[in-house]
Amino acid sequence: MDLNADFFVRVAMHTEDIPWQASPMKGVDRRMLDRLGGEVARATTIVRYVPGSHFSPHVHTGGEEFIVLDGVFQDEHGDFPVGSYVRNPPTSKHKPGSEPGCTIFVKLWQFDMEDRIHVNINMNNTVAKASKDRVGVSTISLFHDVREHVHMEMWKPEVSNMIETQGGAEVLVLDGSFSESGEIFTKHSWLRVPDNYPLHLVAGKEGAKIWIKTGHLRHVARPSS
């Protein structure tokens, strides 16, 4: 299936309003944000594991990137609490699940196929640095290469700033809220904008903690068969 497959337009998804859909694995449900393909897909999704649920062991041929939004995600490599940012590159494998239950934001098949860099950062235990050119914004760099830049930002209440969108951008609200083009984005809302979109955000009255990825929409492709 294709969902939000036109990467030249702005897309806003307020995930709390999206019904959960069952995945092929019992106890694992999802809210799809964008998708190119069937069960093997270039996809951006919110995934919920009910307590005690597990996925079968599998290889991430096209790589997997995720953030733990709630609970504790688990596999044979360890436990990943809320605030974990993980990149499992192409050819990596694991058996994911969660005994206590968890919710994750996950992106599949969006890597350089030669990438072999594993990343595991607990954003809650990482010190954010004040932005040099944007007042009221602190940043944690999560990943950076020639294709994309990924970071987490904390915005003070009612701060207003532009975000660079060369190569396109995605923004996920981890906490707090912001407004853009008159639309309010609250916790776990997701925004995707195309190359060079004039992205102007205004943090809400309690500020905002947001995950941002830029540059990567120059490299959109369906998974290889």
Query: What's the whole-model pTM score?
Result: 0.96
pLDDT tens-digit readout, 37-51 = 988 899 999 999 999
Q: Judge whether residue 225 has pLDDT over 80.
A: no
Residue 65 covered by a domain: yes
The reported pLDDT for the residue numbered 203 is: 98
**Alpha carbon of residue 180 to chain centroid:** 18
199 shares a domain with 135: yes
> What pLDDT does 224 receive?
73
Number of domains present in the structure of the chain: 2
β-partners of residue 115 are none
Residues 100 and 134 in one domain: no
Contact yes or no for 205/156 (Cβ under 8 A): no
Q: Looking at the structure, tell me whether residues 189 and 130 fall in a common domain.
A: yes
Q: Name the region of 78 (left: φ>0; alpha: ψ -120 to 50; beta: rest).
A: left
The string of pLDDT tens digits covering residues 61-118 is 999 999 999 999 999 989 999 999 999 999 999 999 999 999 999 999 999 999 999 9
Q: Which domain holds residue 27?
A: 18-122
**Torsion region of 116: left, alpha or beta (phi above 0 gives left; psi -120 to 50 gives alpha):** alpha
pLDDT at 55: 86
Question: 3-state secondary structure string, 103-140?
Answer: EEEEEECCCCCCCCCCEEEEHHHCCCEECCCCCCEEEE
Domain assignment present for 224 = no
Q: Residue 166 domain-assigned?
A: yes
